[in-house]
Structure 1
């Protein structure tokens, strides 16, 4: 299967197995103390990557795992793990909380703070390691949800669990564009879990994060409106406007900025060999003249000027902005 790997402790002679296994677990997850239980060590790690997500499945005999402060100081990928317990029973501790997990439970834990796992016997975890920078949710909200077992029999968890399991099996076989879409779907699932009523309701920070996540998924829709965002997030329109005002922006201003930033990235991406007007349309701006004016006001140069400067600074580029349709749009051309 393309993009798929598997590591088996049994691939090494018994004397070498514990050290090989510890190294493999740290490489595939995060640096931590790996403490196999008594008896013959058996363990497998398998998985693949979906864009920037790492999807891993680990099955082994009884274990303890502990991420200590010195492990964090040595290396921290700054990921928020989402774990599905497929098999076994496990005790998890982080952020002064401890929870017992049974099969079907989901759980979030953070690479940036110490944690401890103790399995009661053989176990299997399916885990998504997501860079926290992808999550439009403040870290203080993320911390609220760590080490809390979330049964997948109902609510958001009931939708997340099968998606996580399926991504771990098949996600890495998707092409690059599909992987980005799957990654965004998983970001949305994380946000939904972090915003589900139960711990502290839905505080303003979470509602704002939900709104920003919905906007990110729908930037390409030129009809996207504040009313659409409010309805999708189950918020009143006036409350949505207050959320963005308290964040120092407006809904329309935030959407505009995200579209311009996305177009700016595409204009400097050698693989995106498209005319400026098509890039603008991809991000929901259908009037080329209006796009050019907004872009120049925001970045100090027109889209075509930006590309020309980048061509000079990056002589190895593959994009040819001399092709028809790639020149700056003049009034006559518009």
Structure 2
């Protein structure tokens, strides 16, 4: 979900709580780092979740393919921080890319396939505990939720605060309230899939950076997209654009490159674009195929051709012998 945390950063403040989760009564929820447990969702290398379990977790180093065989039927909301995550269930396949989310109404038997994913954030709720409108979802219900949905943004920020220990949950009663809040936020997302933000008016700087990013999205496939062309279109100086992106913790060129690579990954793996890799690279704005290949591998940990050969259907992928091996990826959290 949103930039939750990293095990290395969490290990120090959790030094006394990194053992497997206890099942006895606890007076509140505490973040814990768990490593090497076969029961971790997506058979991850490491996970951060709460004790007692509130249903949220960040799983690091997930397997390439995973089938949910939990004894209890669950509703899952899953989000890859970077990369592509696909779910297949009941003959239907749905996928999302970096920071979008997938909602799976009944996860038992669902098969997930991860491409260049280093971290998956998730919310899991037992179906027996669901209230309307979540309880009314058919078991085969799947939905992709865009990263800009206000409800998803609120849910991920709240879950991040809980996992980092920034939202104190000091009693069992508060833990129950937090669990209820998470479910209610998810219910809002289901009830209003097209919800638009109507909160405080963004500041002038926020409006400006949003306009700049929208301009980039519109011109992404053009090889002549540059700092100067965007500056001219937006009637702003190149120096101001650089300062705005620096305030966001990134650079203009870095943002353009990341968006082009994400778009290329989506087209290469969705199966809807049969054109050669080179044609897709040029279509998303790359003028140098070798540069595209090099930067694609640096971001996702595999070549464009390897991405193109990834199984289109997770149920055809099966659960290979080496499914616990994650894909290396040069990714930043969030």
TM-score by length of 1: 0.43
Q: Which has the higher contact order (CA 8 A, sep 6+)?
A: 2
- Higher Rg: 1
Structure 1 or 2: more helix by fraction: 1
